[in-house]
Chain A
């Protein structure tokens, strides 16, 4: 394959700005799929992704495009995840490309994530083609997006393409621009092999399928390759391209994007960002930028039935085979029994894992409220990392504590600046910067404790800005924290899974809110339930749920016995889905109520 005819590119866009639809149109124009095959959004292969309209796993599609100059070009379209939890995966996908389409919704304009990813693309030295999408929408004012693209990234009006991914208008021009403006890949086919793993996928028949960009050298079936970070060696079973179905090829040479199967059993042996080299003629240096996935958010996952612990372990083991970022360790809770403390990249990652466990592995789970990792310096000179509020050391033994902060970029319309600032300040955010851009948009920068983001910050941001604010964030280091551990007690029994850490100033307000919420969530039961929240021995909020007074089947005769028995058994089964804390049945939602403050 001639290097000069290869173009590797990706699409950078905000959720809902039409990335997947545009990808589908490009595939159609290149004849890679017929209309009939075009189940909407081919690139998103997991059901969950399609349902949520987000891309979790990136994939790469190989296309052949007959350009206006008469030549047939080999285009590799690399899809990138669209959520901030997966920004490392995004950065690896970008490294596999030479060019990027920067897709902006004509009516919505540039959003925070788009900016973050666009800068990532610019930093990766990609050739960028700005595209204003959704021009088919009536009365849409293109000058707004054009102005933003100019002010933020310096694109002139002439550079910007206009398209409608929905109708297909402008897609031909986009492909011509890819050919003309994106440079062909460099790299030598004769140098020692260096291939970047930018994504992987688990297949129960073939093991882990690695998506790779070959930077130098070549890979063939039968080669022995080595993962430079993990040191593991594998024999290559197959290489090929996704067209978009898996299509084996002779080899993948420098500049090519494709897949590799090598009987890899576990995603943790094939990490995104790692470099594949030849075992026989290894490269001296790996490609730069490899990073271990770092869990930012921790939560306990417990089976509702204690007997299901082994099945949960099994399910997590299997899930981890295709999710290298998932981290888990067995733990015990007084209230919830045996389960796992799991680490996630972010809240969305957590939701996805929980949903996959429930859907694909048929688990009934109770999740505790997610927590960040606190650093606690003890008086005896030790430093401990606390992932679980229940394990927070005794107040008396603590010298000082730190919590993780993030640098948050919020983009919103001018009229929403006030509410967005108010909300952020109530979340202990430290103001950093404010920049006005075209079209009445404002970019706010804050340093915020990550713990505050977990408390539905994003949802509230959306709500105070009528849906117009967008958020992107990156890790901003550990900073001192004044923490208080609040214990919740049900009928005077402390429930470890409901304990939470909070800033001292907020402790009472939050304790009150949570007690009130539990009062609504716990069904009335045989006896009165008392709920208390306490710091140490001091009760700071309390409430009670009066006992159930009436629940009886008025009439129950011969004909009715079977029916009524089944009704009771169904109720019994419903209760089994709750966790018993002492004699109180606690529904699943109660544990997550800690988040809704």
Chain B
């Protein structure tokens, strides 16, 4: 096998195996994925709009809100708005990644994206969670003063159960994504 043309013909004579999926399946699958990604973005925008609207109302009424409700609500909704905005930016960034770039450029582009995603999954997520919890925590003494004891205990129990459950869920999800991101970054680096 000392002629390059022979090597080429050896290569091109490989017969593709019988395809399981036809071209119509491919188009349908692509359309399904596009719709699903559009839906995710749409939901993200709806959530962001709602939290941003509530944040706007809080900011407008901030001077008239008594301590500690003003800063507490502000911290809680600021953290949710910030996290939702960054998630939407990340979704749009992902959609705009240009897969048709030459491999080296694509690699650099996707590495930048995954590193940003890693920062979002770790630092940003936990900072915003901390801000949310801090916002709520500073309002607890006020709840105690303004609410009837039974209501206060109800709210407190609900929060003491829901916040740790949500935090565990978030940490688990973040760990899973982080593991995947570290694998991709190690592969591309």
A and B assemble together:
no
Residues of B within 8 A of A (CB): none
